[in-house]
Protein backbone atom coordinates (compact mmCIF):
# COMPACT_ATOMS: atom_id res chain seq x y z
CA UNK A 1 0.00 0.00 0.00
CA UNK A 2 2.86 2.38 0.82
CA UNK A 3 4.38 1.64 -2.56
CA UNK A 4 1.07 2.45 -4.25
CA UNK A 5 0.81 5.74 -2.37
CA UNK A 6 4.38 6.60 -3.27
CA UNK A 7 3.70 5.89 -6.94
CA UNK A 8 0.64 8.15 -6.79
CA UNK A 9 2.68 10.94 -5.20
CA UNK A 10 5.41 10.56 -7.84
CA UNK A 11 2.79 10.63 -10.60
CA UNK A 12 1.23 13.79 -9.16
CA UNK A 13 4.65 15.45 -8.94
CA UNK A 14 5.38 14.54 -12.56
CA UNK A 15 2.06 16.06 -13.64
CA UNK A 16 2.83 19.24 -11.70
CA UNK A 17 6.27 19.43 -13.31
CA UNK A 18 4.72 19.10 -16.78
CA UNK A 19 2.23 21.84 -15.97
CA UNK A 20 5.04 24.11 -14.79
CA UNK A 21 7.01 23.43 -17.95
CA UNK A 22 3.95 24.29 -20.06
CA UNK A 23 3.40 27.49 -18.08
CA UNK A 24 7.08 28.39 -18.36
CA UNK A 25 6.92 28.02 -22.14
CA UNK A 26 3.82 30.16 -22.28
CA UNK A 27 5.44 32.83 -20.12
CA UNK A 28 8.48 32.86 -22.39
CA UNK A 29 6.27 33.18 -25.46
CA UNK A 30 4.28 36.00 -23.86
CA UNK A 31 7.47 37.82 -22.87
CA UNK A 32 8.62 37.63 -26.49
CA UNK A 33 5.29 38.96 -27.66
CA UNK A 34 5.41 41.82 -25.14
CA UNK A 35 8.94 42.66 -26.28
CA UNK A 36 7.82 42.73 -29.91
CA UNK A 37 4.84 44.94 -29.04
CA UNK A 38 7.12 47.33 -27.15
CA UNK A 39 9.39 47.61 -30.19
CA UNK A 40 6.38 48.30 -32.42
CA UNK A 41 5.11 50.92 -30.00
CA UNK A 42 8.57 52.51 -29.89
CA UNK A 43 8.67 52.70 -33.69
CA UNK A 44 5.21 54.24 -33.85
CA UNK A 45 6.06 56.78 -31.16
CA UNK A 46 9.27 57.66 -32.98
CA UNK A 47 7.44 58.21 -36.25
CA UNK A 48 4.83 60.33 -34.51
CA UNK A 49 7.54 62.48 -32.84
CA UNK A 50 9.37 63.08 -36.09
CA UNK A 51 6.22 63.85 -38.04
CA UNK A 52 5.00 66.19 -35.30
CA UNK A 53 8.35 68.04 -35.30
CA UNK A 54 8.28 68.34 -39.07
CA UNK A 55 4.70 69.52 -39.25
CA UNK A 56 5.14 72.15 -36.53
CA UNK A 57 5.99 75.42 -38.18
CA UNK A 58 7.06 73.73 -41.40
CA UNK A 59 6.51 75.16 -44.84
CA UNK A 60 3.69 73.58 -46.84
CA UNK A 61 6.10 71.48 -48.90
CA UNK A 62 7.65 68.81 -46.70
CA UNK A 63 10.09 66.48 -48.39
CA UNK A 64 8.87 62.92 -47.72
CA UNK A 65 12.38 61.47 -48.14
CA UNK A 66 13.73 63.87 -45.55
CA UNK A 67 10.98 62.96 -43.10
CA UNK A 68 11.60 59.24 -43.71
CA UNK A 69 15.32 59.71 -43.10
CA UNK A 70 14.60 61.53 -39.83
CA UNK A 71 12.25 58.71 -38.77
CA UNK A 72 14.93 56.10 -39.48
CA UNK A 73 17.59 58.10 -37.64
CA UNK A 74 15.33 58.58 -34.63
CA UNK A 75 14.52 54.86 -34.63
CA UNK A 76 18.21 54.05 -34.65
CA UNK A 77 18.87 56.43 -31.75
CA UNK A 78 15.98 54.94 -29.78
CA UNK A 79 17.21 51.41 -30.51
CA UNK A 80 20.72 52.29 -29.35
CA UNK A 81 19.35 53.95 -26.22
CA UNK A 82 17.34 50.82 -25.43
CA UNK A 83 20.39 48.59 -25.97
CA UNK A 84 22.41 50.81 -23.66
CA UNK A 85 19.77 50.55 -20.94
CA UNK A 86 19.63 46.76 -21.34
CA UNK A 87 23.41 46.48 -21.08
CA UNK A 88 23.47 48.74 -18.02
CA UNK A 89 20.81 46.53 -16.44
CA UNK A 90 22.81 43.41 -17.24
CA UNK A 91 25.92 44.99 -15.76
CA UNK A 92 24.04 45.87 -12.57
CA UNK A 93 22.76 42.33 -12.27
CA UNK A 94 26.25 40.93 -12.78
CA UNK A 95 27.80 43.31 -10.28
CA UNK A 96 25.10 42.44 -7.73
CA UNK A 97 25.69 38.76 -8.38
CA UNK A 98 29.42 39.00 -7.82
Whole-number Cα distances in Å, 20 to 9, 13, 24: 16, 10, 6
pLDDT tens-place string over residues 3-46: 888 999 999 999 888 888 878 887 788 888 888 888 888 888 88
Q: Kindly tell me the sign of the dihedral angle through the C-alpha atoms of 12, 15, 21, 27.
A: negative
Name the pTM for this structure: 0.46
* Cα 42 from Cα 36, distance rounded (Å): 10
Domain boundaries along the sequence of the chain: 1-57, 62-97
pLDDT of 64: 73
Work out the mean pLDDT of the chain and round it to a whole number: 82
Higher per-residue pLDDT: 66 or 81: 81
Nearest in space to 75 (alpha carbons), one of 47, 51, 54, 41? 47
d(CA 47, CA 61): 18
Amino acid sequence: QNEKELQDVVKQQEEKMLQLIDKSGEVTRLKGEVSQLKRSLQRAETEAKVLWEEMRGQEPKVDAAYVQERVLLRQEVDKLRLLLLEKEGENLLLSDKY
